[in-house]
Amino acid sequence: MSREDYISISNTSKHFGSVKAVDDISFNIGEGEFFSLLGASGCGKTTLLRMLAGFEQPTLGNIYIDGQPQAGVPPHQRPVNMVFQSYAIFPHLNVHKNIAYGMRKSGLSKAEVDKKVDEMLELIKLPGYGSRGAHQLSGGQRQRVALARALIKQPKVLLLDEPLGALDKKLREQMQLELRALQRDVGITFVFVTHDQEEAMTMSDRIAVMSLGKVLQIDSPTRLYEVPQIKEVADFIGTINFFEGSIKGKEGDSVVVDAKGLGTVHASASNDSVPESGSITVAVRPEKFNLSFQQPNVQSNVAEGTMQAAAYLGDRSHYYVQVEGRDAPVAVAAQNAQRQMETVNADEHAKVWLTWEEDSALLLSR
């Protein structure tokens, strides 16, 4: 049985003078989990990771790894290892020596270390690369060597601080999938820091969305996107339209809201914190709207508008629809699954209708 509180961060803060880099955070990370810290630059991701590694001490609170309090435990005595953004490998050593460097104090014989290095080269898909010079490697290969050097000591937790940040987009996407597969393979807990939401979504079991030293929401990628609990998370993950509304009451399982720009909205309450009355924000993702050029035959969850702009992007199109009662146009996205040789001419300001499902209208109270 893997433990759900393998890493436990308990009321942990880190202050630098008046800056609360990490501000009273509490959550657990499970054994074998691929867990990401996601947030804009400066939100405290690196500081939290460095506290897990033991390079920083919490100002307040405690961190436990495998049930053991980590206060006062120096980095090299923690069951963790860290991989940095810049490939921290030695340029004057070959690949074998770079990877073996992690084992220099292990007390193993040379033959034992050689065997482990070969296993690592297999794992990172660079078999036979041992005698290559570090300078003869591509960026992606160097980062794999840095990973191998961190993994050879068999840490229980690997901490990764934007390790793919320096790679170009294609290589980065390939490495994301490889890193995920490698984590599954070795089964150790990964705590991965990134400011790139697609990267976090691609790899993680769960993501903690951070802002200004706080954790806003911790959930699976799917839940963060489909059921964000607050506006800031909804806005940070992907694109979303917000509509100001006021609650009119309930009809069966759905909440009836009068929303500026959408009219009367029936929404299924996905969020426990939806109040009985008062103001509320209705949030709808662009792809959850259906767009039609004829008036649809539905009674509720329909809004009339004018096509203001359209962008054909090949696989999909983006539309911007002006609706009454809302200043900014509504963003709508549609897949272009069928081949289409004509694109929408937005200059004609065509009348259009938006429709949406009850469970696509999210109700957010803050």
Q: Residue 14: helix, strand or coil by DSSP?
A: strand
317 contacts which partner out of ligand ADP, Mg ion, none, CB within 5 to 8 A by kind?
Answer: none
24 or 122, CB closer to ligand ADP? 24
Which is closer to ligand ADP, CB of 39 or CB of 221?
Answer: 39
Minimum separation from the CB atom of position 206 to ligand ADP (A): 18
**Residue 300 tokens, joined:** 């509720």
# residues near Mg ion by CB under 5 A: 1
Q: Which does 299 bind (CB under 5 to 8 A by kind): Mg ion, ligand ADP, none?
A: none
- Please report how close the Cβ of residue 102 comes to ligand ADP at its closest, in angstroms: 24
What does the radius of gyration of the chain's CA atoms come to, in whole angstroms?
25
Tell me whether residue 22 or residue 152 sits nearer to Mg ion (CB atom): 22
CB of residue 46 to Mg ion, shortest distance in Å: 3
Per-residue tokens: 297: 């035959």
CB nearer ligand ADP, residue 119 or residue 232: 232
Tokens read off for 166:
């320096």
Q: Name the site residues for ligand ADP (rule: CB under 6 A).
A: 16, 19, 21, 39, 41-47
44 binds, among Mg ion, ligand ADP, none (CB under 5 to 8 A by kind): ligand ADP
- The whole-angstrom separation of Cα 250 and Cα 266 is 9
CA nearest to 124, candidates 68, 165, 83: 83
Report how far residue 38's alpha carbon sits from residue 24's, in angstroms, rounded to the nearest whole number: 17
- 99 or 210: whose CB is closer to Mg ion? 210
Separation of alpha carbons 314 and 341, rounded Å: 11
Q: What's the closest the beta carbon of residue 20 comes to ligand ADP, in angstroms?
A: 8
Would strands 68-69 and 60-65 be described as parallel, antiparallel, or unpaired? antiparallel
Closest distance of CB 38 from ligand ADP, Å: 9
DSSP 232: H
CB of 353 to ligand ADP, least distance (A): 43
Binding-site string for Mg ion from residue 78 to residue 107, where x marks contact by CB under 5 A and - marks none: ------------------------------
Q: Which amino acid is at 171?
A: L
Q: Note whether 46 binds Mg ion by CB under 5 A.
A: yes
Query: Is the distance from CB of 147 to CB of 182 less than 8 angstroms?
Result: yes
Give residues with Cβ within 8 angstroms of 321, minimum separation 6. 291, 305, 306, 307, 308, 329, 330, 332, 352, 354
Asked if 36 touches Mg ion (CB under 5 A), the answer is no
Instruction: For residue 315, report the phi and psi dihedrals to the nearest 5 degrees.
Output: -70, -30
User: Which residue ranges make up the site for Mg ion (CB under 5 A)?
Assistant: 46
